[in-house]
Amino acid sequence: MSSGYSSKLNSVFSKERTLRREFRRQKQRLTNIDRAAKMHALRIAYDKENKRTITVSLNEKEHKYFIGSSGWFYWHWRNIFYPQDLPMSAWFTYYASKFKTVELNAPFYSWPTLATIKAWQQQASHCDFIYTIKVCELITHIKTFKNTKVLIRDFGLIADLLGSRMGCFLFQLPPSFYFTIARLNLILTQLDHNRRNVVEFRHPSWWNKEVYKAFQEHGTIFCSCSAPRLPNELIKTSDDIYIRFHGVKKWYDHDYRAKELEEWTKKISDSNPKHVWAYFNNDRGGNAIRNALTFYAQQK
């Protein structure tokens, strides 16, 4: 087989994979609409029987630092973090023996069902553990906060069901979503301020004093980021601070040196927060696990 023919064949296969992946995404997005409608019905029924309150996390009174990774189930972590002979059914228990929190990214792509939420409860029922939930893209990327007040209330049912195991709701906006006053006001009018809300921007225009002031007034947490082409600053707009470590020069693929993490540790110390929520999203090569353990050790 000639190299030219082989190259064309690889190109065809690549396009097919891309099309299949896009088809699956579109199918999941339709499923998310259906799941959101079902959760709306559940939330209405729940609200009729229960008073909505801000739940204090299980170990929030005892701990200041909630540090972990963005997700815990990665195939390539076998034999890097998870022992080779450890069955996958035991992976969460193993993760929870090292960390007390995780940032769940899966809900961003797939609106959680009631069965999924119950599974989260069950797997953490025998340990001191907190979940942070990344909000579904239906709210942040498809609708970009337009007419999402009810959807956000519905998604918030997750916190009521998880109770003391609930940490933060993370709302991540797309890089194309740049700052305007109208968009800032839109976000703050749509959020349910009975929840612990974190907003992560991917466009640098949001790093400005108008945003910080508005977030402070509403008790909304501005997500600080270590990421390519974004300000490397710790922003505090609430009693708590929230940091996501994505990488420095390349997304999701950076092994933070101890000195790099010490710079963030110094920033945290200077800001004197009530609680620190920090998650490592640089999962490639198991860097997230190693870096999270190093970072946690620095806080002591």
Cα–Cα–Cα angle for 282, 287, 289, rounded to 5 degrees: 100
141 or 3, higher pLDDT: 141
- pLDDT greater than 90 at residue 222: yes
Q: What is the pLDDT of residue 14?
A: 60
| pLDDT of 198 | 98
Looking at residue 21, its pLDDT comes to: 74
What is the share, in percent, of the chain residues with pLDDT greater than 70?
89
Domain 3-299: top CATH class: alpha beta
pLDDT above 80 (res 291): yes
pLDDT over 90 percentage in the chain: 84
If 0-12 CB within 10 Å is exposed, 13-18 middle and 19+ buried, where does residue 262 land? middle
Quote the CA–CA distance of 298 and 77 in Å, as a whole number: 23
Burial of 169 (0-12, 13-18, 19+ CB in 10 A): buried
Locate the DSSP E strands across the chain: 65-69, 101-104, 130-134, 166-172, 197-200, 221-226, 241-245, 276-280
Strand order in the sheet with 276-280: 65-69, 276-280, 241-245, 221-226, 197-200, 166-172, 130-134, 101-104
Q: Is the pLDDT of residue 136 over 80?
A: yes
Mean pLDDT of 154-160: 97
Tokens of 127: 């340990």
pTM of the model: 0.91
Mean pLDDT across the stretch 82-97?
Answer: 97
> In the predicted model, is pLDDT for residue 132 greater than 70?
yes
Say if CB 219 and CB 257 are below 8 A apart. no
C-alpha–C-alpha distance, residues 239 and 221, integer Å? 8
Judged against a pLDDT cut of 60, whether residue 5 lies above it is answered with no
pLDDT of residue 300: 75
Rounded distance between C-alpha atoms, residue 22 and residue 290, angstroms: 33
Residues 31-76 have pLDDT tens digits of 999 999 999 999 999 998 887 655 555 566 568 999 999 999 999 9
Pull the structure tokens for residue 5: 């023919």
**Which has the higher per-residue pLDDT, 11 or 259?**
259
Mean pLDDT over residues 123-144, rounded?
Answer: 96
Please tell me the predicted confidence (pLDDT) of residue 280: 98
Q: Give the per-residue pLDDT at 26.
A: 84
Q: What's the mean pLDDT when you consider all of the chain?
A: 92
- Contact yes or no for 246/225 (Cβ under 8 A): yes
The pair phi, psi for residue 228, each rounded to 5°, is -60, 135
**What gap in Å lies between CA 222 and CA 235, rounded to an integer?**
6
